[in-house]
Structure 1
Amino acid sequence: MHGMRAVVALVAVLGLSGCVSFVDLERAPARPSGDGVEVVGAVDGSVDDQARAALADLEDYWAQTLPEVFGERFVPLAGGYFSVDPDDVDRGEYPEGVGCGAQPLEAESNAFYCLAQGAPNSDAITYDRSFLAELAEGYGAFIPALVMAHEFGHAVQARVGSPGSSIATETQADCFAGSWTRWVAEGEAERSRIRPAELDELLSGYLLLRDPVGTSTAAQSAHGSYFDRVSAFQEGFDSGAEACRDNFGPGRVFTQGQFTTDEDFEQQGNSPYGELIRLVRSSLPEFWRRAFTEVLGETFTEPELVSFDGTAPDCAAEDRDLVFCPDEDLVGFDEELTGEVYDIGDFAVATAIAIPYALAARDQLGLSVDDEEAVRSAVCLTGWYAAQVYNRTITSVLISPGDLDESVQFLLDYGDDPEVLGGADLTGFQLVDLFRGGFVEGARVCDVGAG
């Protein structure tokens, strides 16, 4: 996030997706584990068991969904499925090689779908079970199933066609994985299940799976930024496989980008803390003045924006880190929090401060500021603000590669802390979905009466 000058219309909306729905899931009922499908090389253990169950459920899901969405009958993968532990390989287990003839060691720290005409075991999924076990330890037991769902998405593309570019192909596979995960979360799968809390872990896991910050969208093997991949997954989760089919054409916007200067690369796009606070102080009132005038048909009065160190102003609960006081029209942030959040990145700090600032805007519109509806709206409106920074419609700041990834990290890491966002009882997954909704569709989905 850096200073700049530009003038563009505020009402521009990104072409990332169609409708956004914000979901509240109860825990899906447990289902008995089935025998699943055959996985060559699999051993008894949680990773192979979960992968086998997921693959069987994926076959069920796409046998139902492919005809409904693409008008084609699902044909099972001809090459099958392979589990490999590169540190403990008996090559006799794989007499014809793993997928497409790859050697087992080529699967190290990887999972892949392959399709190669004339190759052995073409149209197959291969995975390193020890690598998936490590992911599961860090990001939840559902991660192996998510990886299977992503790779299965590539198998679907092999049957119906892929978007073309690497980044579009990979994020569409994330979208397909999201649509299947929603089906699992609703209790439709016979073998797999997921708890709402695990959705937060899944989104956290995508941080490990993103491209390095600064990767070009045109890179030969580009998979997408953290925000791109999470957005695609949630798009499928919210709107189903139809959205994955329809929204990954040439006009899709990807937020991944390259650094433009050596200095920006060295700083990883982060402004010094003091400069960052100055940018936030200038960009938030500028955004809301224009939002009120150009979209909401009102006149915005800038609230007082104050920082404090450990103890909130008298108008707020002393243990709150982000505050809005309606009577004083005061927005405050604890620099103990923002100093810590700055370790994520500068735009994580901007995201944090923008949320109570959005409550001030709601107050001026005569809307609630102290209930769950207000928090939902404020997070969504913060996504709208982030979109205008990204679109360069705010004249004082410039987005840097990785900035939107930092917003996702902040919401996942701090969103459930009552000292940060109060007692809204929203999961990180829901908060990211709300932010994404505002980013993609603007004020009309943020409950402020905008058409």
Structure 2
Amino acid sequence: MPSTSRPVALASGVLALALVLAGCSAAIVPGQATPAGPPITDVSPADFPITGAAETEADVTSRNALADLNDYWSQTFPEVYGEDFPALAGGYFSVDPGDVDESLYPDGEIGCSSAPEEVEQNAFYCPPDVGASNEDSISYDRAFLQQLSDEYGRFLPALIMAHEFGHAVQGRVGYPADDTSINVETQADCFAGAWTRWVAEGNASHESIRAPELDGLLVGYFIVRDPPGTGAEEDQAHGSYFDRVSAIQDGYDGGAAACRDNYESDRRFTQAEFDDQEDFDNDGNLPLAQVPDLIAQSLPAYYTDSFPDDLGVDFTEPAIETFDGTAPTCDGMNADTNAGFCRDQDTVYYDQTDLAEPAYEIGDYAVLTAVAIPYGIAARDQLGLSTEDEDAIRSATCQAGAFSGAALNQEVPTISISPGDFDEAIQFLLTYGKDPTVFPDVGLSGFQLVDVFRQGYLYGLTACGLEA
């Protein structure tokens, strides 16, 4: 049901990922070596009871996060919704499904009259007025949360608690867009992002997160995406990787008020079904050998149309060439570069062996995104704008998002966006964003690059700092 979270079991074979622009509204990522305010302390079990808790690391993290979430919503709910926030009447339940002592739970049940084992590899909110015991409560599998913490960082379980708490907010004010599942779930992600910003700014008493941890947070959220090809209208749709990450950043940038206002029936999602069985079987990816032709056809087509329409100037196509191993010697590139723009040759180059082939392991759209960045640098060069500083990288990444949004809207006739393509773009930015052979070292995090890409997707080329 839209009012509860369906299981988010760990996907097998999840890709292990490594961990912009003048005139564009990108997130300024707060965070400091030590959190602001008083020392961070753990909440005692007596002060914040969780039924069934065994005081594992996952339970301590969950308790700290839930206590801070109560503080945040006690402050924020009146500001956003004009009334006090009622505490969860049904409380909180911790379970290790592999070692259940039913005597710890009232009548042997957790939220929504569920058996403790039913929360395996999941966390869920039980809304009020569903005719079950333990309504208005949050239940979680602490072994699952510990696995997430071990693999993706200590804050990911806290973010999942924040998502479930977002459902508790919805249980008090109503669900967006006629209870459409994808709107309900991504709005809860947005609420979680708003709380994360509050924590990052040093306002929480128990939780903390530093700016460098935000990249890992987004990387970990990959496991809770819907599989590519899931329809946006499906009853249990939660959103693509891009949709869910975008929602987190929507809340991070705009706060809980943005979450209240931006999740109605006209919200655009990238999640979609595959057109046919062949696309499903190959995850929507072209063979690697066909990707250079796709790049050569689609990027020039977009810029040739968009520059006159959006900026009032003509666009001259730079050449696009591949190389293997050693970059050409030219103005704008060095021998260690795997992708870049040669000003004196008016050519965008990328390394087929050291960039395209490994990026293709993410997907064909990761390769296109890799080339779209230096192509955006070439566009800036034509306008007489900087090409090597932070503004340039923000702008080029934003342009990649604007291109992707236009392609999704079928405004670029030479390319058709497949389910999962936007997810591949996000994975590319998080994987290669700190790689100096692909992105110049201008101090931008993967979190910031993803947010700038999102700005381009939402607002188009004119948001990408291309005015001279």
- Fold-level match, TM-score > 0.5? yes
Q: Provide the rounded CA distance (Å) in 2 between the counterparts of 1:157 and 1:280.
A: 43
Cα distance, 1:391 vs structure 2: 0.8
Q: Is 2:310–2:462's contact at 8 Å kept on the other side of the alignment?
A: no
| Counterpart in the other structure of 2:415 | 397
User: Residue 327 in 1 paired to residue 344 in 2?
Assistant: yes
Q: Structure 2 stretches of 5 or more lacking a match? A: 1-23
Cα distance, 1:266 vs structure 2: 1.0
CA shift in 2, pair 1:252/1:421, >3 Å: same
Question: What secondary structure is seen at the aligned counterpart in 2 of 1:51?
Answer: helix
Q: How does 1:346-425 map to 2 (within 5 A)?
A: 346-425=364-443
Q: Structure 1 stretches of 5 or more lacking a match? A: 1-18
So what's the TM-score if we normalise by structure 2?
Answer: 0.90
Match of 2:127 among 112, 115, 129: 115
Cα distance, 1:250 vs structure 2: 0.8
| Counterpart in the other structure of 2:449 | 431
Q: Provide the rounded CA distance (Å) in 2 between the counterparts of 1:308 and 1:274.
A: 14
Q: Is 2:97–2:116's contact at 8 Å kept on the other side of the alignment?
A: yes
Q: Is 1:351–1:382's contact at 8 Å kept on the other side of the alignment?
A: yes
Cα distance, 1:167 vs structure 2: 0.6
| Counterpart in the other structure of 2:234 | 219
Q: How does 1:170-249 map to 2 (within 5 A)?
A: 170-249=185-264
In structure 2, what residue type is equivalent to 1:166?
S
| Counterpart in the other structure of 1:26 | 31
Cα deviation code 1:285-307 (max 9, x no counterpart): 11111121111111111112110
CA shift in 2, pair 1:138/1:156, >3 Å: same
| Counterpart in the other structure of 1:98 | 110
In structure 1, what residue type is equivalent to 2:34?
P
Q: Provide the rounded CA distance (Å) in 1 between the counterparts of 2:324 and 2:157.
A: 43
In structure 2, what residue type is equivalent to 1:105?
E
The answer to which of 349-358 and 441-450 deviates more is: 441-450
Q: Provide the rounded CA distance (Å) in 2 between the counterparts of 1:176 and 1:21.
A: 18
| Counterpart in the other structure of 2:94 | 83
Cα distance, 1:201 vs structure 2: 1.1
Q: Is 1:383–1:435's contact at 8 Å kept on the other side of the alignment?
A: yes
In structure 2, what residue type is equivalent to 1:131?
F
In structure 2, what residue type is equivalent to 1:100?
C
Cα distance, 1:192 vs structure 2: 0.5
Q: Provide the rounded CA distance (Å) in 2 between the counterparts of 1:99 and 1:156.
A: 16
Cα distance, 1:277 vs structure 2: 1.2
Cα deviation code 1:371-421 (max 9, x no counterpart): 111111111111111111111101111000000000000000111000111
Cα distance, 1:20 vs structure 2: 4.4
Q: Provide the rounded CA distance (Å) in 2 between the counterparts of 1:220 and 1:33.
A: 40
Cα distance, 1:436 vs structure 2: 0.5
Question: What secondary structure is seen at the aligned counterpart in 1 of 2:232?
Answer: coil
Cα distance, 1:225 vs structure 2: 0.4
Cα distance, 1:116 vs structure 2: 4.8
Q: Provide the rounded CA distance (Å) in 1 between the counterparts of 2:339 and 2:312.
A: 28
